[in-house]
Amino acid sequence: MADHQEASVTLPSAPASVSAARAYVTDVLAEWGLGQEGEAADTVRLIVSELATNAVEHTVGRSPTFTVDLRLDREQRLEIGITDSHPKWPRWLPLATQQDSGRGMVIVRCLAAESGGEVFVTPTADGGKTVWIALPWTVPVR
């Protein structure tokens, strides 16, 4: 294996792109050795669904596209990033928040923590942001 693998796709900020992002990530990770079944695959799919949904719903037309980035390095760390050009960063609501919506980042934080990972946000050059999830990669690399 190379010391580092990367994959990326840019999709329109439209509801149909959420399932396209999830399918893309599932296919790439299957190529990298993570099967499409099991808890790890389910966790990754749910994280991607939540972050892609945020990129579509919360950019309010200010980001016509979003990009999904995948990075896998030799240190067995998988990073999944969702980038949009909207300047507003995600809100980190308390776990006990009683709202009908807005719990996506709570779900993402919990899933990352349960998997031994972390969530962080980085700014982009165009004033947007990338929401990253870093997870330990426990699958033998092909």
Domain boundaries of the chain, sorted by first residue: 4-136
Name the class of domain 4-136. Answer: alpha beta
DSSP H or E segment with residue 121: strand 118-123
Separation between Cα atoms, residue 29 and residue 35, nearest integer Å: 7
pLDDT at 89: 84
pLDDT at 61: 75
pLDDT at 135: 92
CA dihedral sign of residues 16, 21, 24, 27: negative
pLDDT at 63: 87
pLDDT at 141: 54
Q: Which residues of the chain have pLDDT under 50?
A: 1
pLDDT at 35: 72
pLDDT at 19: 96
Q: How much is the pTM? A: 0.86
Q: How many other CB atoms are there within 10 angstroms of residue 71's CB atom?
A: 16
